[in-house]
Structure 1
Amino acid sequence: MSGENKSAYPFYIIVGSLLCLVICSQLNFSFSFKDFQFRRLDMLSELRTSGPEKDSTTLTAAKGGGKRSHADSTAAAAGKTPEGTAVNPDAVYDFMSYKGILNYTTATSSDSNAGMDRFMEALKELKAGKRKKVRIAYFGDSMIEGDLITSDLRDSLQTFFGGAGVGFVPITSVVASFRTTITHTFSRDWKDYHYKNSPPSNVVLGLSGHTFYPGGGSWIKYTPVKKPRLNKFDEVSLLYGPAEATTVNINEKPYTLSGNAPVNKLDFRQDTGAGTITIKYGGGPAAPFYGVCFETDNGVYVDNFSFRGISGVELGHLSAGMIRRMQEERPYDLVVLHYGANVLFRPELTDYSWYERPMKKVVDSLRRDLPGTSFLIVGTADKSYRKGDRYITAPGVEALLKVQHDLATTYGTAYWNLYANMGGSGSMVKWVEGDTVLANKDYTHLNRQGAAKVGALLYKAIMNDYRQGEQQP
């Protein structure tokens, strides 16, 4: 025995182990013990190119459960965006980790009105030349103020589908100097009624949550910026409320405003030789003003309706008549609701029933007032707070995400989880402290670079759905 060659023993052990694994893998039975389950192993599964989980990029819609799914169940459970894979249309997906857009329908709505379906159809018609414009109303809090997120989403959509112009801009703004997509200045004598200063009962708030009344010398000035698709003005619209013989001077040219509807519109084209538009109150009864819109005659437009410090519940103060009239004057194909930062004011709170109840009324009323419009609820971003000597994700984040997801399933809207797209638990810390800084030191708000990344991620999710639709027969 002393002369036996022991150097071959490791080889024998490895070969024997492999043989055991191959034999076990072919046993056709299942056995489970507590949390362990033994199943037949397919050792060549990763090499297969056929079958429902390794197919092309075609994505399909689930029927019966009212849920459109855009990932295969394996990828969804792992929290991965399953690009390049098909889906099982009857699978259930983990909304907390899935990075794509989930679309829902309800028992009382048709599949053609599920989630983003109508919006996707509008994009197809625009691309085919069957319609001129597609508009998105993007509502949010300080996370999007200064045109953050929306500017990058707008630019990407306009690059692919056409269009130029920043869309809606309010009369005045607390972040006008921060915004880089238009140069915006104004006089200080405008009276701004809004969600937080208890406007009189006869004041109808505009879609932005603001209504502005001019003083004796009120003026506003807008100048294009030196960026693609933002470097000149073409089609310009002034939005205002009920007016009778109110006059304004636009680049020294007088106009008389009239109309008794909650929202009225004055359209004019900008002389391409004049870069700046100056609008001055000229006299007469002081009518309510909402804002000015900048577009061309075709393409996609994303209107930024940011309002600092709100939770989204405040949208319930908007008049149904105003919303419906706005839809007549300036129809929207998609409404995005992006809130959460101000709901998470107590990081360890996990019961958000107090928020869910009024938000259900908000979403329900908006769906009623905008019956032909798609809706997308954006799940909150990660938010971290200091506990002990380090920052961690607030326990309330995932609790709030569940509430937001429940709203989407209840009212048949689309849902996109920003938290998952940031990287899930602990991601805000990485965005603040990483080599590339993407968020501010408050561990709540994104900086410009982070907002640009989110805009790009949302655009990618939208285009994944759009291209899926192109592949449908």
Structure 2
Amino acid sequence: MSGENKSAYPFYIIVGSLVCLVILSQLNFSLSFKDFQFRRLDMLSELRSSNPEKKELTAGKNSSKLSHSDTAAAATGNTPASTVVNPDVSYDFMAYKGILNYPTPGEGSVDNAGISRFLTALKELKAGKRKKVRIAYFGDSMIEGDLITSDLRDSLQTFFGGAGVGFVPITSVVASYRTTITHTFSGNWKDYHYKNSPPANISLGLSGHTFYPGGDSWIKYTPVKKPRLDKFDEISVLYGPSEAGTININDKAYTLSGNAPVNRLDLRQDTGAPSLTIKYGGGPTVPFYGVCFETERGVYVDNFSFRGISGVELGHLSADMVRRMQQERPYDLIVLHYGANVLFRPELTDYSWYERPMKKVVDSLRRDLPGTSFLIVGTADKSYKKGDRYITAPGVEALLKVQHDLASEYGTAYWNLYAAMGGQGSMVKWVEGDTVLANKDYTHLNRQGASKVGALLYKAIMNDYRHGE
């Protein structure tokens, strides 16, 4: 022993320790002590590209996992670049925070996949090749009062141009809550809608409402003191079939005519009249849908919120009305954002009862709006109390799968709001965090949370937009 070189001992200890660590790192198990956890060692991790734009999203056929870089992007909160997906490959849509663009079945080309046509329209607008781009954003109480859509609209108009709040219904149960326009009206409008079984001869408007005036019905719209919302410019009154009905707009008489399911009266706001007051002038009764506020150029986001619905109600819309609306006020993107009212039983995980009618809705809308891009927004997280704490409802991920399958089957885009919020348990964090982003019902966002979601969706859209530049 006296002949040994003891100076080599530290070297042996270091080498032995490294060998043990490498062996442990290659074992496929999880062992944790407080906040420490063993994980597989990747000796070449620093040499690999971490840029998600250069990584392929796909894995093997029937895989449910993203590539390494996109999984990392989902974990860190980074939104990956545009992804046109291979229909023969499955993806970990439950964790992916970007927009998945599915090609239309049978077309064979990815040029029109997901929101591709919408992105082309935005590029044409930016290049001065077209005047307007419109988005119809359908949803439930998650977007009422112009929540989410107001921030999305403001961001898009800041970058692409435009001013104005877009479509506003004749009356609204949340008019006093909305901050993007001041909206008052008389109480004698008759509102036919999804939930009060309108007569068969009444066609509902795109918002799910049709309004009939009483003898002296009126509405008043006033701009608010916010950028791009502080004055009216181009105004359009949307109404149904009319045989010479009359209205007075700021005390000027107009005759309404037209037998189409949707007709439009266009006017410019007088510079000396900051508000717009419309009074029913008598004559044949006219069905009204709403009033639109725009400028000559830019992006416009119409909020079509309806409290308490699941989205299947859109199947009650007349195909003739939808097609005519597209002629009078064409949309480049349709957003379908539902889920809160589908999750009425938090532990329910079978949503086949919902999938079947929603397939008909998506199918009919795609048929009636050819050439329009569609985006399905996966439901937000929803928590319920189990025992002494709130947890994510089991039905959330089951519903997300149904919504994703609709997108992949019908060739629309898909954006997982649940993943964008943070995934499992995120609603609890949004309610109970230092910055409160959601209400105590653990379902609905507050204004600050809605603003964040609007910003997240805008970022996801712009990632796709810039990826194609």
Displacement of 1:43 in angstroms is 2.0
After superposition, the Cα gap between the structure-2 partners of 1:105 and 1:308, relative to the gap in structure 1 and judged at 3 Å, is same
Tell me the residue number matched to 2:314.
315
Structure 1 match to 2:275: 276
Residue in 1 that maps onto 2:150: 151
Residues 61 and 434 of structure 1: is their aligned pair in 2 closer, same or farther, counting only changes over 3 Å? closer
How is 1:18-417 mapped onto 2 (pairs within 5 angstroms)? 18=18, 43-48=43-48, 53-55=49-51, 57=53, 72-76=67-71, 79-80=74-75, 81-82=77-78, 92-109=90-107, 110-417=109-416
Q: 1:41 to 1:364 in 2, by over 3 A?
A: same
The alignment of Structure 1 onto Structure 2 pairs a total of residues equal to 457
Structure 2 partner of 1:28: none
Q: What letter is aligned with 1:108?
A: G
Could you list the per-position Cα deviations for residues 366-404 of structure 1 after superposition, in whole angstroms to 9, with x for gaps in the alignment?
Answer: 000001100000000000011111111100000000000
AA aligned opposite 2:237: L
TM-score (norm 1): 0.89
Structure 1 residues 387-466: aligned runs within 5 Å: 387-466=386-465
Q: 2 CA distance for matches of 1:385 and 1:288?
A: 42
Contact 1:59 1:87 in 2 (8 A): no
Deviations 1:403-444 (A, max 9, x none): 000000000000000000111111101100110000000000
Q: Kindly state the Cα deviation for residue 105 of structure 1 after the two structures are TM-superposed.
A: 1.3
Looking at structure 2, the residues matched to 187 and 130 of structure 1 have their Cα atoms a distance apart, in angstroms, of: 42
Report the secondary structure of 2:111's partner residue. Answer: helix
The structure-2 alpha-carbon separation of the partners of 1:105 and 1:3, relative to structure 1 and needing over 3 Å to count, comes to same
* 1:73 Cα deviation from its structure 2 partner: 4.2
Report the RMSD for the aligned CA atoms in angstroms: 3.3
Secondary structure of the corresponding residue to residue 465 of structure 2: helix
TM-superposition CA deviations, 1:252-281 (whole Å, max 9, x none): 010000000000000000012321000000
CA-CA distance at 1:16 after TM superposition? 3.4
How far is 1:180 from its partner?
A: 0.1
Looking at structure 2, the residues matched to 174 and 385 of structure 1 have their Cα atoms a distance apart, in angstroms, of 27
Contact 1:263 1:326 in 2 (8 A): yes
Match of 1:15 in 2: 15
Give me the whole-angstrom Cα distance separating, in 1, the residues matched to 2:456 and 2:67. 19
Question: 1:18, CA displacement in angstroms?
Answer: 3.2
Fraction of identical pairs, as percent: 81
Per-residue deviation, residues 160-218 of structure 1 (Å, max 9, x unmatched):
00000000000000000000000000000000000000001110000000000000010
Aligned-partner Cα distance in 2 for 1:350–1:21: 42
Q: CA deviation at 1:357?
A: 0.2
**Are 2:141 and 2:306, in contact at CA under 8 Å, matched by a contact in 1?**
yes
- Alpha-carbon distance in structure 1 between the residues aligned to 2:85 and 2:190: 53
Moved more, 12-21 or 360-369: 12-21
Q: Distance in 2 between matches of 1:149 and 1:33?
A: 43
Aligned to 2:34: none
Q: 1:453 to 1:12 in 2, by over 3 A?
A: same
Taking the aligned partners of 2:137 and 2:192, their CA distance within structure 1 comes to 21
Q: 1:450 to 1:10 in 2, by over 3 A?
A: farther
Q: Matched residue of 1:225: which SS?
A: coil
- Say if 1:376 and 1:275 are closer, same or farther in 2 by CA, change over 3 A: same
Shift of 1:106: 3.6
Moved more, 219-228 or 264-273: 264-273
Give CA deviations for 1:70-115 in whole Å, capped at 9, x if unaligned: x844423773355577989767531000000001014313423210
- Work out the CA distance in 1 between the residues paired with 2:81 and 2:207: 40
Q: Is the 8 A contact 2:55 2:70 kept in 1?
A: no
Query: SS of 1:441's equivalent?
Result: coil
Question: What is the distance in 2 between the residues matched to 1:264 and 1:449?
Answer: 37
SS at match of 1:111: coil
Q: Report the CA distance shift for 1:72/1:33 in structure 2 as closer, same or farther (over 3 A).
A: closer
What amino acid is the match of 1:240?
Answer: Y
Question: 1-side partners of 2:218 and 2:460: how far apart?
Answer: 40
SS at match of 1:76: helix
Inter-partner Cα distance in structure 1 for 2:183 and 2:379: 29
Aligned partner letter, 1:14: I
Contact 1:242 1:260 in 2 (8 A): yes
Q: What are structure 1's unaligned runs of at least 5 residues?
A: 26-30
- Separation of aligned partners in 2, 1:327 and 1:460: 27
Write out per-residue CA displacement over residues 293-331 of structure 1, whole angstroms, 9 at most, x where no aligned residue.
Answer: 000000000000000000000000000000000000000
Aligned letter for 1:104? Answer: Y
Partner Cα distance (1:382, 1:235) in 2: 39
Q: Report the CA distance shift for 1:23/1:382 in structure 2 as closer, same or farther (over 3 A).
A: closer
